[in-house]
Copies of this chain bind each other. A is one copy, B any other.
Amino acid sequence: MEVVIPFDDRRPKTRLAPVLDEPERRTFARTMLRDVVDTLRHIDREPTILANDNVDVDAAVVIDERPLTDAVNGVLDDGGEVAIIMADLALATPASLQRLFQASADVVLAPGLGGGTNAVVVSHPTFRVDYHGASIRDHRRIAREVDASRATIDSFRLALDIDEPSDLAELLLHGRGASVDWLRDRGFTVTTTDGRVGVER
């Protein structure tokens, strides 16, 4: 199985702008990427980074300047079994990723919070991705249209891509690895209110 991690090195993590400046967002995005790579290697999966620019990471990098959906579908066009895993799954653990790889279906989906698709394993010749909008809904529909069997991974760790300031609280509460250390080193702590937790720095 080919394991591919798309990575936007040009404008990474713009929704974290309220709490991290541009150089910090760039460093944090790369730190999360390295965490995902390390977690995959723990379970003997060697990923390829599908980047829109050259990125400094200790892994194979393929550069494709097209938008995310087109770049990923370019990989799927080559055929074979392919896993697409988002680079900001800093909460992923070996166990959560094992569940993804061990599921048996033409299309295995790990939904993301907010309608996204945080990981997908494709072993169907004509299934293609569409990351615009509520992609999980589109991916279910596309799987139906091409008559692909479908499995869904019910994982909090795979559902939580780190995109928004409130996600940093989840990382601080549940994370291990370099990304959470990086956040702690920069003074981020969890704040508690009546509702869900937040972060302060």
Interface residues of A (CB under 8 A from B): 15, 93, 95-96, 111, 113-116, 132-134, 136-137, 154-159, 163-164, 166, 169-170, 173-174, 190, 192, 195-197
Contacts and interface: CB of A to CB of B under 8 A. Distances in A.
A195 B111 CA distance: 14
20 contacts: A111-B156, A113-B170, A113-B196, A114-B195, A115-B169, A115-B192, A115-B196, A115-B197, A132-B192, A134-B190, A134-B197, A136-B174, A154-B156, A154-B157, A156-B156, A156-B159, A159-B159, A163-B196, A164-B195, A164-B196
A106 B197 CA distance: 26
A200 to B, nearest CB: 13
Nearest to A138: B192
Given A116-B196, A137-B173, 12 more contacts: A93-B154, A114-B166, A114-B169, A114-B170, A115-B190, A132-B192, A134-B190, A134-B192, A154-B157, A155-B155, A156-B156, A164-B195
